[in-house]
Structure 1
Amino acid sequence: MEKEARPGNDVPGPREPQDGNEGAGARRPVELVLDPAQGMAPELAGPRVEQLVDLVRRLIRGRHERGLVVPVRLPGTAGAAMAGDGRLPAGPGPRGIQTFDDWLAREM
């Protein structure tokens, strides 16, 4: 990751992604493409729900940088969906085991 000094960071929020392992997160879609068609694939997600603004703040701290992180609510239907839980998995499916904090500790 490139380090870039910024006076502030605008983050769409509130948003609750379910963080996940980038390796498993990349591997599973490739497997789905290469496997025979099976209809709707289960939703892939990480082991826990996180606030995006908190992830960005922890990343900045992990880089030993400083900067204001401001949650910004996006307008319209997309903004409303991001503010709610519409982006979280609705049913069962594969879940990663590596948390954002585990990834951050390994990368920093």
Structure 2
Amino acid sequence: MAAKTAKTAPVLVTGGTGTLGRHVVPLLRDAGRTVRVLSRRGGASEDAGVEHVAADLLKGEGLDAALDGVTTVLHLAGGPKGDDEATRNLVRAAQRAGVEHLVYISVIGADRLPLGYFRAKLGAERAVAESGIPWTTLRAAQFHDLTLTVVEKMAKLPVVPAPGGLRWQPVDARDVASRLAELTLGRPAGLVPDLAGPKVYELGDLSRGYLQARGKHRLTLPVRVPGKVGRAYRAGENLTLEGASVGRRTWEDFLAERSAP
């Protein structure tokens, strides 16, 4: 009876309207699960199997109602800061609701990069792991979508900076979504292997690939990222070169799709 209840209960997806959530929610629906999407504004859905609820993770408001009857939570919501506090609020509400599986998406290097965003991600990871709720955490590389935002902004400059030694291994959000759907529908697995893209690039190469795909030309200027952050990136602390799961879609594939008519 418990297993049947878990399968028929809605899956709560925080951040279900974001870049990753828009890919994950249909996969969960295709698997026959009802999905409850949590966002700050809520909203309506054309799919009878998708319910939208409004709640504020940072303020901890509306979470008890959002979690009513939920046994599985997929926590995708995130921002430039405050992810640790938002996750602690979610964890407390999930404990009260008797949630049986909490799945979290984090970032490769959360335990190594000396930046506030990564420290907040690590704090969120710890909140999940120490919650007493069976859990699964996946660390992923930067999405192609974020990479595109970065190189688009740099391409607007007369000279495009090319930080030496700064490497990324961007992954397609659809590959991450597929893995997360699998993990959400499975049993709690703790910290699973990282998920990265199929190729490692210098940031300058990512910019050049973008410019070429757009038919643009810019001069590039080698620069050196100073301090602890620069040393961490040059040491590859943001990468998992061994033991990671690898996505299928490359940066070139992504750019070709975005450049298609």
Mapped to 1, the partners of 2:175 and 2:191 lie a distance apart of 19
Give the one of 78, 93, 96 matched to 2:247: 96
Please list the CA deviations of residues 26-77 of structure 1 after superposition, one character each: whole Å capped at 9, or x if unmatched: x268659957754323211011212211110110121122212223221111
Q: Closer, same or farther in 2 for the Cα pair 1:102/1:86, shift >3 Å?
A: same
2:183 & 2:222 partners in 1: Cα distance?
Answer: 35
Of the structure 1 ranges 92-101 and 62-71, higher mean CA displacement relative to structure 2 is found in 62-71
TM-score normalised by the chain length of structure 2:
0.35
Mapping for residues 47-58 of structure 1, pairs under 5 Å: 47-58=198-209
Q: Which protein has greater RCO, CA pairs closer than 8 Å, 6+ apart?
A: 1
Shift of residue 80, structure 1, vs aligned partner: 0.8
SS at match of 1:71: strand
Shift of 1:85: 2.1
User: 2: distance between equivalents of 1:65 and 1:12?
Assistant: 20
- Give the structure with higher Rg (CA): 2
Task: Work out whether residues 199 and 250 of structure 2, in 8 Å CA contact, stay in contact via their aligned partners in 1.
Answer: yes
Q: Counterparts of 1:68 and 1:22 in 2: how far apart (Å)?
A: 30
Q: Which runs of 5+ in 1 are unaligned?
A: none
Across the two proteins, how many residue pairs are aligned to each other?
107
Q: Which structure dedicates a bigger proportion of its chain to strand? A: 2
Partner of 1:84: 235
Identical aligned residues as a percent: 30
In the alignment, what sits opposite 1:6?
157
Q: 1:7-86 maps to which residues of 2 (within 5 A)?
A: 7-25=158-176, 27=177, 31=181, 38-86=189-237
CA RMSD of aligned residues (A): 2.8
Q: Is contact 1:16–1:50 with CA below 8 Å preserved after alignment?
A: yes
Alignment partners' CA distance in 2, 1:75 and 1:29 = 35
Shift of 1:8: 1.5
